[in-house]
Amino acid sequence: MSTTAIDVHAGHHPKGVLPWIMRWITTTNHKDIGTLYLTFGLLMFFIGGVMALVIRAELFQPGLQFVEPHFFNQMTTVHALIMIFGGIMPAFAGFANWMIPMMIGAPDMALPRLNNWSFWLLPFATALLLITFFMPGGASASGWTMYPPLSLQTGAALPFSIFAIHLLGLSSIMASINIIVTVLNMRAPGMSLMKMPMFVWTWLITAYLMLLAMPVLAGAVTMLLTDQFFGTSFFTASGGGDPVMYQHIFWFFGHPEVYIIILPAFGIVSQVIPAFSRKPLFGYAAMVYATAAIAFLSLIVWAHHMFTVGMPLAGQLFFMLTTMLIAIPTGVKVFNWTATMWRGSMTFETPMLFAIGFLFMFTIGGFSGLMVAIVPADFQYHDSYFVVAHFHYVLVPGALFGAFAGAYYWLPKWTGHMYDERLGKLHFWLSTIFVNITFFPQHFLGLAGMPRRIPDYAVQFADFNMISSIGAFGFGLAQLIFVWLVIKAVRGGPQAPAKPWEGAEGLEWTVPSPAPHHTFDTPPVIK
């Protein structure tokens, strides 16, 4: 009998380097895979971050000081691809893996081997993307959107980048199938859909969006591949093709992608704000419906990314109106979070700070989002730094701050130790100050007429670019605090109780900290 007991835990604390490596490569445990995803996301966040700093270093002053324009374009392109597909999506997949089974009272994900595979595709896919820097012609430099005909001028990197995107998409599709199956089949008895934690809801909806959107991206880039190598002309005008069709197909993926990135952050914030307000989430049902409405609308607004391509008037009006509609469910979300705090009994530990930071700054990104929906005004905003400011507000103090809120919230559950609260608060305040120094001036740059994706600029844009670059370096350095804090919490610190947060609710807080390798082998009872 004792051998069986050892076998069960053999995967957990193996001795020696090779068994340790094999344990992580072969693991099918949702917590291990969650850890892998989160670690990988953090690593990619720094790789993409270094590229952002190359961009900001070059833009510190007018004139070219550090890199050639072609390399600059490679930086903007790969920065985006790495941050989206390597950083933020895997990070949220890590949260899903770690937390969804524990939040719904399931012993593991429904498809553990698929889970292993969907993670282990990622390092190879991103490696494939990154080695293109060393190929003739360098990495892809046509922007993360890879619009033809420009993307067809890419050198040897094109097929490798496309194959990397295929692999990343495959990984996302498998992860989303796994999440859908887990949530629909493995909830503990008594946990009806409308009793699920909000984080599980947002991920369920996100998973459906991923399942709809990722194959479309795969189709778009495959057509690029055949245009380049197999003599088709889907997007080549001289062969009877249509370059604008690529943009329609791409953004049919690309706009849902925006919500694939932000909805899990909505979910995390919907867990954190009630916990630290010691009050239930305001309007739970409305939050679920709002999330579903946002997901639906995200499928019918894609062409607002391409108002300047010369669409018919009716098309422009349609996409303007549907885009403006998104403001309604998004507004409901922001109002409900505020109403959750209203008459609560709030404390401000680091997870709550990041959630409140999210609430304020995501709202700013939402406002500029409403502005870019207004077509005549968008003719001025489009492809300018105003748009850069807009989507970075949604992605950095939006999605990324959501991820930080979740990381601090669940870190005691993952590591069994309380993190250093002082370091956490320092991380929050420095991040908040520098993210605004970085991105707020970019609104002014865009309105004053600075186009995006340029390595050099007219001298009237010099001051705000300098401010923005200083902010970017400050923000980058501040993130090292987070790494140090996580290492400290993994290695030691005060023992975390099963429920370290007074107001936290949910099944994950009923298991000890750190969460044992296997939880809920027998389903819990839901009242």
Among 14, 159, 243, 476, binds other proteins (CB under 8 A): 243
Single out the catalytic residue among 270, 363, 368, 432.
270
Site for other proteins contains 343 (CB under 8 A): yes
Among 46, 117, 133, 147, binds other proteins (CB under 8 A): 147
A 10 A CB-CB count for 441 gives 22
Q: Which residue reads 């055949």 in tokens?
A: 226
Among 43, 292, 299, 339, binds other proteins (CB under 8 A): 339
Print the binding letters for residues 165-204 with other proteins: x by CB under 8 A, - otherwise: ----------------------------------------
CA 211, CA 131: separation in Å to the nearest integer?
28
Among 118, 140, 142, 171, binds other proteins (CB under 8 A): 142
CA 489, CA 494: separation in Å to the nearest integer?
9
- Whole-number Cα distances in Å, 473 to 53, 352, 376, 433: 7, 25, 35, 12
Site for other proteins contains 455 (CB under 8 A): yes
Q: Residue 260: left if φ>0, alpha if ψ -120 to 50, beta else—which one?
A: alpha
77 in Cβ contact with 139 (< 8 Å)? yes
Q: Least distance to other proteins from the beta carbon of 244, Å?
A: 6
- At 417, phi and psi to the nearest 5? -125, 150
Site for other proteins contains 512 (CB under 8 A): no
CA 16, CA 20: separation in Å to the nearest integer?
6
Number of residues located near other proteins, criterion CB under 8 A:
98
Decide whether 331 or 523 has the Cβ nearer to other proteins.
Answer: 331
- Whole-number Cα distances in Å, 523 to 104, 200, 317, 526: 9, 17, 51, 9
Residues 6+ apart with CB under 8 A from 463: none
Decide whether 18 or 285 has the Cβ nearer to other proteins.
Answer: 285
**CB under 8 A: which stretch of 6-14, 106-114, 165-173, 317-325 binds other proteins?**
317-325
Site for other proteins contains 474 (CB under 8 A): no
Respond yes or no: is residue 255 known to be catalytic: yes
Packing angle between helix 112-131 and helix 69-81, nearest 10 degrees? 170
Site for other proteins contains 300 (CB under 8 A): no
Site for other proteins contains 463 (CB under 8 A): yes
Site for other proteins contains 135 (CB under 8 A): no
112 in Cβ contact with 29 (< 8 Å)? yes
Respond yes or no: is residue 431 known to be catalytic: no
**CB under 8 A: which stretch of 84-92, 181-189, 192-200, 380-388 binds other proteins?**
380-388
- What would the two tokens of residue 205 be? 């909806």
Among 57, 456, 514, 526, binds other proteins (CB under 8 A): 456
Q: Catalytic amino acids?
A: 79, 108, 144, 171-172, 255, 257, 259, 270, 304-305, 330, 333, 452
